[in-house]
Structure 1
């Protein structure tokens, strides 16, 4: 008999503990390799325009960095509230691991969000929240502050007096509501400024152009326009340019699409209120991952905003904000 109690003619008895250890090790390796990859639905207001394209780029980058499968799915237009409701219902029923949502309506999306949370699916808001907002975190621009700065910029451009118009997004969307409030609060500080028209673009370039045409026709002595998002801005810019009013009717607009930047450079737009959509998308996915890992997430993350004019256009930090992919505007 050998030390340890194994007989020379009982090799199987000696090998049994080793075989069991090998099986256990193999199971451990297999389990580790089969670790579940979390699936995160990122549901924007629409798949259209460059703003949402930059949000998507940030979300996909975070998905790769944190080992998550990101599903990018939203309605074709921002006004399709029913379409976004259907998407939410579908993916809650499919039991995705987490959801990041930019709500098309502050009230209508409340029910599917509550359903997800009740099913233990973490939900964060980005860009636009709910009222009331039960989501774990809102990752967004401070829209009130950004629009307040837009009002201040427009007031400076028109010498703190004159007639102006506002072209918001969509009635009922939290982003639009906050931007209207912020803009109105700013211009209320200037008794010489009169707001003569408020018409919604419905986040559509053609509609934005049509309402800008109507405003300009009704107010031939108009001094300035605030367009609260990219489609409204492009529509208003086209209307102003077509009438030969570039530079005469001052235009301040949210966002920084390539066309908006071009309009800023050629003088049709005088100031852009620039958000950080790439960072918004990145942080939306990152926050979902943190929630899934049991970490406490902040209730609010401000992704920042900057007022861009040709006076600060070439500053390095502004160039980085305008061209997150590194394509300089110089």
Structure 2
């Protein structure tokens, strides 16, 4: 069996100009399997795993899953980090395409709209593309022409999360939201659901709706300012656990523990502990290891001519009582996949 290779690459901006983007219009589907997915003439698969960054616990777990799964399957995989820069990732795509570095791409985009043209160029050149974490080209999940999609932050899941928050707070009140970066479909899905389920409800007074960089430190600063301006805040929600931690620290520093209900979308080890002790009211956990493990497995299966689903919704992998929502009543049934 071929020896596995895993590398962490940060491919610089190519010196030569590469082909311009093609249009990003595409349609999606949630069922069936992809056609023309197998590799050519027994050619061994070489996967380029394009990832936004590697500097938080979620994406770090993604990388671990990619490397371990590739080793288990005996395939070559290289991790290509964009350091959270959309332009860098675009150049990584175009350089890899021009050099024919990989014959299969696993893509977690920094900016899904901007990535669309490069992805379509790669597919037109015969590269097999599998999408993970968030959709591309205006699609919430599957994009036509790719092999498939695995993710757990769809619009439907965010809609359910905010509906649950509204249900838990029938009297409404002042509410604040902190999400990830702009250009990110996970952020877009959260904001769209928040608008439909919270902003449209007259019981709620939205006093803060800000985007951040997923870090605890930045979340603390944002939350501290929000709480100083709104000491009567009732609800604070964040769509990543490391940001939720920053919010909890700010609530504690303001002496408002027990007065502000905190909601988490992420469910890492810290968040599940916070749910258990009542610091966080509810969490919808994410599965970063399963996300990439399943993505690599399905990509390799498709390469080998096996039929795979177009969409794997990771919330269906949550099997604890009352899934997908963790509360004090069921948190003991769940083990977090990342710190």
TM-score interval w.r.t. the shorter chain? 0.7 to 0.9
Counterpart-to-counterpart distance in 1, 2:153 and 2:269: 23
Instruction: Map 1:1-330 to 2 at 5 A.
Output: 37-76=44-83, 78=84, 80-92=85-97, 93-132=99-138, 133-134=143-144, 135-187=146-198, 190-304=201-315, 306-315=324-333, 318-319=334-335, 322-323=336-337
Structure 1 position 218, deviation (Å): 2.1
Q: Which residue does the alignment assign to 1:4?
A: none
Spell out, residue by residue over 1:46-92, the C-alpha distance to the aligned partner (whole angstroms, 9 max, x if none): 2122222232233233313322122122123x3x1122223323333
What is the alpha-carbon distance in structure 2 between the residues aligned to residue 246 and residue 71 of structure 1? 45
TM-aligned CA distance change 1:247 to 1:150, over 3 Å: farther
Paired residue for 1:6? none
Q: Deviations over 1:22-66 (max 9, x none)?
A: xxxxxxxxxxxxx86422112222212222223223323331332
Q: Report if aligned partners of 1:201, 1:231 keep a CA contact under 8 Å in 2.
A: no
Q: 2:276·2:331 contact (CA, 8 Å) conserved in 1? A: no
Bigger shift: residues 253-262 or 106-115: 253-262
CA distance in 1, matches of 2:302, 2:228: 52
RMSD, matched Cα: 2.4
Question: Is the radius of gyration larger for structure 1 or structure 2?
Answer: 1
Paired residue for 2:21? Answer: none
Which structure has the highest helix share of the two? 1
Q: Provide structure 1 residue ranges, at least 5 long, that are not aligned to the other structure.
A: 1-34, 326-330
Q: Shift in Å at residue 158 of structure 1?
A: 3.4
Kept after mapping to 1: 8 A contact 2:285/2:326 = yes
Q: CA deviation at 1:200?
A: 0.7
Deviations 1:138-176 (A, max 9, x none): 211142232223223323443441110111111221111
SS in 1 for 2:187: helix
2: CA distance, partners of 1:115 / 1:174 = 21
2:180 counterpart SS class: coil
Question: CA separation in 2, counterparts of 1:115 and 1:169?
Answer: 28
**TM-score by structure 2 length?**
0.76
Query: What's the offset of the Cα at 1:281?
Result: 0.3
For residues 217 and 100 of structure 2, the distance between their equivalents in structure 1, rounded to whole angstroms, comes to: 37
SS of alignment partner, residue 81 of structure 2: coil
Q: Distance in 2 between matches of 1:324 and 1:224?
A: 25
**Whole-angstrom distance in 2 between the partners of 1:196 and 1:83:** 35
Per the normalisation by structure 1, the TM-score is 0.78
- Any gaps of 5 or more consecutive residues in structure 2? 1-41, 319-323
- The residue that corresponds to 2:12 in the other structure is none
Report what 2:35 is aligned to. Answer: none
